[in-house]
Amino acid sequence: MSQTLKSPTDFLNNVIGRPVIVKLNSGVNYRGTLACLDGYMNIALENTEEYVNGTLKNRYGDCFIRGNNVQYISAAK
């Protein structure tokens, strides 16, 4: 990325439509395309994969994650 991001909101707006990794408080990771999110950090992902202890467990078309379960969102490489 050539631009400097100034806030978490800038980062989140920049990754909409791109692959992300969402880690939950339980330690489960979801990888998918960020479709949208709201001010409560509720997240909608498309083409989602669920990883438990680093192992692929499930694949979902669309996935909704409640914001209070989210530990972090990272841009996938």
In a domain, 32, yes or no: yes
In a domain, 2, yes or no: no
64 domain residue, yes or no: yes
**Number of domains making up the chain:** 1
Predicted local confidence at residue 6, as pLDDT: 80
Query: Tell me, what's the pLDDT at 48?
Result: 97
pTM for this one? 0.88
CATH code of the domain covering residue 57: 2.30.30.100
pLDDT at 1 over 70: no
pLDDT value for 3: 62
The per-residue pLDDT for 70 is 96
In the block, residue with structure tokens 């202890």: 53
pLDDT tens profile 3-47: 665 888 888 889 999 999 999 999 999 999 999 999 899 999 999
